[in-house]
Chains A and B, each alone.
Chain A
């Protein structure tokens, strides 16, 4: 497989991760806006936060599993790659702590126990942004190749 086609696979993986993180962010922001107005948030948006929780749990599980000979999420490996290409400079122990804290924060947010979730939101924004950027880079290179090929 030529390097351009390999990028198709990468772009798909990054896009899916970005979609999940972005779904969670949309849920969070809709809920925040509703709560600020004193309205009860739409259950659909509250449910979207679960996409973020699942994504972060998969990342955490992969970080732990890969230290043992256990199944890793291939998608999570790509997410870790993309976030370390970008702004994240945390060591693994710090990253694990941040992910765990973010999962807890998101669960509390869902239950309405906290109004703001700075850590989780920032982490999801890093994931959504960096994976979207990697997807964009990958598909831009595929695009150039497709034009040349035709």
Chain B
């Protein structure tokens, strides 16, 4: 069986018929830096046609563009960011971000860090970590371009976050994952189940450390752009069993998390997670966890 066939068969067992997908280009207006309507007017004047993404507050799909959306003055001035639609969801799931101490544990290249700072209106503090020095330059570039003021960046493995001796009100875990075929044309050729399992193990280590540094009344948002249940529902089921956390209800785009994966019955609360099969967006998985009281 081909690699594509193998994974497509797994998707079928999860209730989704494999179909090729190309996510639409999307932007997010940085409302701390500009009035949304003004940005839209300016982009329209440049021949960029946008369409509101129905499930996002400040997100727009690019319908047509006479110029590259990544090379306008408005982009260079940090008035908006280019950010895939599903990837805009995790940050919006936090409640009350103002003045909070927030950990963005796997932050580079920084799209979600900027989104956090935007929603926080640059109050409080974000601690952004990434293990790879090469990726930190891209993160710093985004922070400078978008005029973020409340963030400290460290080159640090998320599995060592407790070295910071801080406990966080909010933790964003957009963990390193296997990705998905919608954003990587070579995905089926490059990925094996062994990769997926290796990533899932790394994600569990990061999750465990994140729960350690989360305040008792804190919120943790976990997301991947992987469609593989080992990195998604199975990891959350493991966290619910092992880490004294539980997925809480969220109101966002996407189907409910699977509670029966290849015949294995999971904690019923895993249904509170959201699984997004690729179509207009990339494939995505997101959930919000709280410590069990």
A and B: interacting chains: no
